[in-house]
Structure 1
Amino acid sequence: MKKKKEKNQVLNILSYIVIILIAVIAAQHLNVVISGSMEPAFYRGDIVAIEKTSMFGLQEFNPETDVHTGDIVVYNAKWYPDPVIHRVISESTDTSGQKYFVIKGDNNNAPDPLVVLPSQITAKVLTIGNKPVVIPLIGYITIMIRGL
């Protein structure tokens, strides 16, 4: 009886560890939308599911080869302090062979002010049937806490 109780305790602890790991991984694959620049694809306060370039040292996708026109990406802009979530509207290569992207918010009139290098891209928004995976409005909690 005592061994069975100990075994159950070990299984319970392992279950909690697995649940915590899943929660940590899931949380790392969600991004809060802080502006309306991508409306109507998603709105301020929504949360989008993302695929990171790498997590815990494991590469999930390569921006050099896995980002294409039409993809929605998260990148570190040189012109804005927070990560930006916008759509790739074109991709090209300069004369030295360096690939770059022109990126724009769906709700913006003009592309972002600077081209984006693959090294600036940190994540890609997950899509199902070309529609982003979105959890509506839940991100407002984070927006209020951060004062955005």
Structure 2
Amino acid sequence: MTDRRELLEAGAYLLLLLLAITASQHMNVVVSGSMEPVFYRGDIVIIEKTDFFGISELDPKTLKVGDIIIYDATWFPEPVIHRVIKVGRDAGGEKYYVTKGDNNPSPDPAPVYPSQVKARVLTVNSQPVMIPKVGYLTIWLKGL
């Protein structure tokens, strides 16, 4: 009886650990005010990733105007969370996105190619899924 109980307990802990790792990989902390009033500094957004341990949850070539994405910017050292405001094609026919922070006066300085996209903010009924202010601890610990 004890062996069965210990096995069930170990299985429960393993399941909890797996759930925690999966959940933490699908959250991102907002570190600036560029997307206000949709997101504020310290909010945590729930995301769909382009590569989650080898699994593609999101095809970055299928983004549309209005999507909020996280991407590796060529002009900023950290990942950027901004909204797609235009979809275009360059001279070679490759798709790119023009992005902008909702609180910024102008678009970002460089186009975003699908290879730069890391995630899209999950939405429900066109509203982004987020947890307000919980990410401040992460910002404080990282010294941002």
**TM surpasses 0.5:** yes
Question: What's 2:125 paired with?
Answer: 129
RMSD: 0.6
2:44 aligned with 1:47, yes or no?
yes
Superposition misfits of 4+ residues, deviation over 3 angstroms = none
User: Which consecutive unaligned segments of at least 5 residues does structure 1 have?
Assistant: none
- Match for 2:68 among 65, 72, 91? 72
2:6 aligned with 1:9, yes or no?
yes
Shift of 1:95: 2.4
Question: What's 2:95 paired with?
Answer: 99
- Match for 2:79 among 76, 83, 93? 83
Cα distance in 2 for residues equivalent to 1:114 and 1:86: 13
Shift of 1:88: 0.1
Cα distance in 2 for residues equivalent to 1:42 and 1:94: 31
- Amino acid aligned to 2:126: N
Name which one, 1 or 2, has greater alpha-carbon Rg. Answer: 1
Question: What's 2:136 paired with?
Answer: 140
- Amino acid aligned to 2:108: D
Map Cα deviations across residues 53-98 of structure 1 (whole Å, 9 max, x no partner).
Answer: 0111111111012x11100000000111110000000001122111
Identity within the alignment, %: 53
Q: Secondary structure at the match of 2:64?
A: coil
- Amino acid aligned to 1:108: N
What's the TM-score once normalised by structure 1's chain length?
0.95
What's the TM-score once normalised by structure 2's chain length?
0.98
User: Which consecutive unaligned segments of at least 5 residues does structure 2 have?
Assistant: none
